[in-house]
Chain A
Amino acid sequence: MSWLRNPWGRPRWLALITGVYVLWAIVPVLLAIAFAFNAGRSRTTWQGFSFRWFTGETGSVLHDPALRDALEHTLLLAVICVAIAVPLGVALALGLQRWRGRGSGSVNSLMLLPLVTPEIVMGVALLLLFLRIFPSIGLGTEAQAIGQVTFSLSYVVVIVRGRLVSIGPEYEEAAADLGAPPRDQLSRVLLPLLAPAIVASAAVAFAISLDDFVVTQYLSSDASTTTVSMLLYSNARGAPTPGLNAIATVGLAFTLATLTAAFLVYRRFAGGQEATSLATLEV
């Protein structure tokens, strides 16, 4: 390889490998998206361009009850997940940041546990929890929302804490020095400075909720608690139509839109460096 002998040469081989990988990763996705616009019922043979699987009379995302309900339920879960996980995660991050006493270190590592626990383990554990210990909650939308909050919370805490560490204590001290009581230190200084991280973590929690399959599947009850990912999975081997491609495309669009928006907001307010570290968190 020439770049081993000539350190000034362009690393052509590396560029080639990278290019092949990117193609390999993106082509299946692009194919799936393309067939969402197929005019026929086939998911493998191109029969012309149409929006029928998005807006058509039968079997479309808009008019097929199963598809539409799944999309609605998915978005509902995502909104609930963000609404609970973000405020709770911000409060936890603030608390952990201030708590410097004994035990803070272990709680810190515990917060990361959901990030490394295999999701299937978490799913089974939560299933048992709702069946045996909290039967009053039972399975269904509530359980699904709680389950999703349980692990998306960790992402919120990690992102917000990262920002807190980079902000440092001195802005709060400056606010206190100028006469602001603790409540104003939070509302007038800390929260505005945390805003980019809060937006970013909300987007990440939203995207995680949209994408989640394992936990959501385990904690579902009847057809009304089916999400897009569950629908895709259960119909994959049945009688799939390009309608599934269409709903997957809609889900992907939501995910990409939220992450892009969050990325832009974060970069605008917090500088490019931290935005890239956020990008590595995207799953």
Chain B
Amino acid sequence: MPGEIQLEELTKAFGEHLAVAGISLDMPPGEFFTLLGPSGCGKTTTLRMIAGFERPTSGRIMLDGSDVARVPPHQRNVNTVFQSYALFPHLDVAKNVAFGLKYHKLDKRERAKRVGEALELVNLTEYAQRKADQLSGGQQQRVALARALVLRPQVLLLDEPLGALDAQLRKSLQVELKALQAELGITFVFVTHDQEEALTMSDRIAVMSKGVVEQAASPREIYEEPQTVFVADFLGVSNLLAAEAIGHEGGACAVRIGDRVFHCRQGEIDARGDVKVMIRPERIVIEPHSETGDERLPGIVERSVFLGGSHEVHVRVLGGELLKATVANDGRDVPVSLEPGAAVSLRLPPDALRVLRPSEVAAVQAEQDEETRIVQAPDDPPLTAPPNRVT
């Protein structure tokens, strides 16, 4: 089945600024693939290169096996849903949808039929004669979708298509879009900065930062097994602790945090030296202050925030770092006081502790890998590491 995209060392420089710094990604046919990252991470530039609006500085864009990096946008079999929809204001809905069919050899009746089908697909049949500015945001978004899908592209590119809509509409369109993609079976390349959107809709996610792909994997893997500090920090709430990896003990990595030693079973358990240790707030267990054994870190509650389904408790631990722990609001008694100032003990189970290389190390590593592989672009400026944030 066609619709496969492979990006090979794709690079885009705007003057001195490297917007996309040699990324390589495989998007198999029929996949819902998401480019996720903060603004300025290069995700939209990547999408615009696939669409053909930007010419790559170097690298290849393989569409079903042939390089389209130098093919102008009107000759590529990919279609785009723009962030602002870009519906032609001088045409009505039906003519907007029919716009691209002029370039497919179809007779008049076939063309009308295709337009009708596309409008039906997005439930807008009765709006065919309206002008774009007479539609709501959600309806405009559907027209943009119909206008692209009527051409039966192998790949649909979506640039934050839900960004301009209110939260409620977003949620329902997320579900619709995902269902539509499953029904059509074509490749979707979806750009968003909204991690929740990415997690709920995607088959696979590439998390981008500063022009590079930090990690490309399934939503579950991205969330459960982040490989870099950036990914751990960007998706969900994470606690990241500076630690020193000191040894290996039975499938776990022993790390020193402050003056205590913890065991981590997840992540880069072979690492030595300075590392980051990550734990999700929902995996931290809050116990009474009297509990002091292994796996435990004493601390003082600074703040307790009621979130409805849970409490988020901020605990200042020995050593000065602030950890967030969530306590489920499931009706069971919490054996400790969560009032500010209360002394507690945090248990950090080995299965929940993940060792991450600090970003500098990872970036240098990646750069070395890069240098050995690329011959094409030897004068790429060195990549700066993402900020090394500690939550």
Bound together:
yes
Binding site for B on A (CB under 8 A): 170-171, 173-182, 184-185, 188-189, 192-193, 195
Give the docked Cα–Cα distance between A195 and B148 (Å). Answer: 26
Give the docked Cα–Cα distance between A188 and B101 (Å). Answer: 13
Partner of B86 from A171, A182, A188 at Cβ < 8 Å: A171
Give the docked Cα–Cα distance between A176 and B76 (Å). Answer: 9
Give the docked Cα–Cα distance between A185 and B53 (Å). Answer: 14
Give the docked Cα–Cα distance between A177 and B52 (Å). Answer: 8
* Contact yes or no, A178 B89, CB < 8 A: no
Cβ of B88: which chain A residues have Cβ within 8 Å of it?
Answer: 171, 174-175, 189, 193
Cβ of B73: which chain A residues have Cβ within 8 Å of it?
Answer: 173, 176-177
Say whether, besides A171-B88, A192-B90, A177 and B103 are in contact (CB < 8 Å): no
* Contact yes or no, A181 B74, CB < 8 A: yes
Across the A-B interface, the 10 shortest Cβ-Cβ residue pairs: A178-B100, A179-B103, A174-B86, A176-B73, A170-B86, A192-B90, A176-B74, A177-B80, A179-B100, A179-B74
Cβ of B103: which chain A residues have Cβ within 8 Å of it?
Answer: 178-180
* Contact yes or no, B86 A180, CB < 8 A: no
Give the docked Cα–Cα distance between A115 and B74 (Å). Answer: 39
Give the docked Cα–Cα distance between A195 and B90 (Å). Answer: 10
A222 to chain B, nearest CB (A): 48
Name, among B84, B87, B89, B148, the residue most crowded by chain A CB atoms within 10 Å (CB to CB): B89
Q: Chain B 245-261, CB within 8 Å of chain A: the 1/0 string?
A: 00000000000000000
Q: Chain B 27-54, CB within 8 Å of chain A: the 1/0 string?
A: 0000000000000000000000001110
Give the docked Cα–Cα distance between A176 and B74 (Å). Answer: 5
Give the docked Cα–Cα distance between A10 and B78 (Å). Answer: 60
Partner of A178 from B53, B72, B90, B99 at Cβ < 8 Å: B99
* Contact yes or no, A174 B82, CB < 8 A: yes
Cβ of A173: which chain B residues have Cβ within 8 Å of it?
Answer: 51, 53, 73, 80, 82, 86
Give the docked Cα–Cα distance between A44 and B53 (Å). Answer: 68
Specify the chain B residue showing the minimal Cβ separation from A179.
B103
Specify the chain A residue showing the minimal Cβ separation from B97.
A178
Binding site for A on B (CB under 8 A): 51-53, 72-75, 78-80, 82, 84, 86-90, 99-100, 102-104, 147-148, 151
Say whether, besides A192-B90, A193-B90, A178 and B82 are in contact (CB < 8 Å): no
Give the docked Cα–Cα distance between A188 and B73 (Å). Answer: 16
Give the docked Cα–Cα distance between A240 and B130 (Å). Answer: 58
Cβ of B90: which chain A residues have Cβ within 8 Å of it?
Answer: 192-193, 195
Say whether, besides A171-B88, A189-B88, A193-B89, A176 and B52 are in contact (CB < 8 Å): yes
Say whether, besides A170-B84, A174-B88, A180 and B100 are in contact (CB < 8 Å): yes
Partner of B72 from A176, A184, A188 at Cβ < 8 Å: A176
Partner of B82 from A170, A179, A189 at Cβ < 8 Å: A170
Name, among B74, B78, B89, the residue most crowded by chain A CB atoms within 10 Å (CB to CB): B74
Cβ of B52: which chain A residues have Cβ within 8 Å of it?
Answer: 176-177
A56 to chain B, nearest CB (A): 48
Cβ of B82: which chain A residues have Cβ within 8 Å of it?
Answer: 170, 173-174
Name, among A179, A189, A195, the residue most crowded by chain B CB atoms within 10 Å (CB to CB): A179
CB-based A-B contact count at 8 angstroms: 64
Give the docked Cα–Cα distance between A195 and B51 (Å). Answer: 28
Partner of B99 from A175, A181, A193, A195 at Cβ < 8 Å: A175
B44 to chain A, nearest CB (A): 12
Cβ of A195: which chain B residues have Cβ within 8 Å of it?
Answer: 90
* Contact yes or no, B53 A180, CB < 8 A: no
A147 to chain B, nearest CB (A): 36
Cβ of A180: which chain B residues have Cβ within 8 Å of it?
Answer: 74, 99-100, 102-103
Give the docked Cα–Cα distance between A41 and B104 (Å). Answer: 72
Name, among A176, A178, A189, the residue most crowded by chain B CB atoms within 10 Å (CB to CB): A178
A271 to chain B, nearest CB (A): 10
A165 to chain B, nearest CB (A): 15
* Contact yes or no, A179 B151, CB < 8 A: yes
Give the docked Cα–Cα distance between A192 and B148 (Å). Answer: 21
Give the docked Cα–Cα distance between A177 and B159 (Å). Answer: 13
Specify the chain A residue showing the minimal Cβ separation from B91.
A192
Specify the chain B residue showing the minimal Cβ separation from A191.
B90
Cβ of B99: which chain A residues have Cβ within 8 Å of it?
Answer: 175, 178, 180, 188
Specify the chain A residue showing the minimal Cβ separation from B48.
A173
Cβ of A170: which chain B residues have Cβ within 8 Å of it?
Answer: 82, 84, 86
B71 to chain A, nearest CB (A): 11
Specify the chain A residue showing the minimal Cβ separation from B157.
A177
A259 to chain B, nearest CB (A): 24
Specify the chain B residue showing the minimal Cβ separation from A175.
B99
B158 to chain A, nearest CB (A): 12
Cβ of A171: which chain B residues have Cβ within 8 Å of it?
Answer: 86, 88
Cβ of A179: which chain B residues have Cβ within 8 Å of it?
Answer: 74-75, 100, 102-104, 151
Cβ of B104: which chain A residues have Cβ within 8 Å of it?
Answer: 179
* Contact yes or no, B89 A177, CB < 8 A: no
Say whether, besides A192-B90, A193-B90, A177 and B84 are in contact (CB < 8 Å): no
Pick 21 A–B contacts, CB within 8 A, sort by A. A170-B84, A170-B86, A171-B86, A173-B80, A174-B86, A175-B99, A176-B53, A176-B74, A177-B53, A177-B80, A178-B79, A178-B99, A178-B100, A178-B147, A178-B148, A179-B100, A179-B103, A179-B104, A180-B74, A181-B74, A193-B90
Give the docked Cα–Cα distance between A175 and B72 (Å). Answer: 12
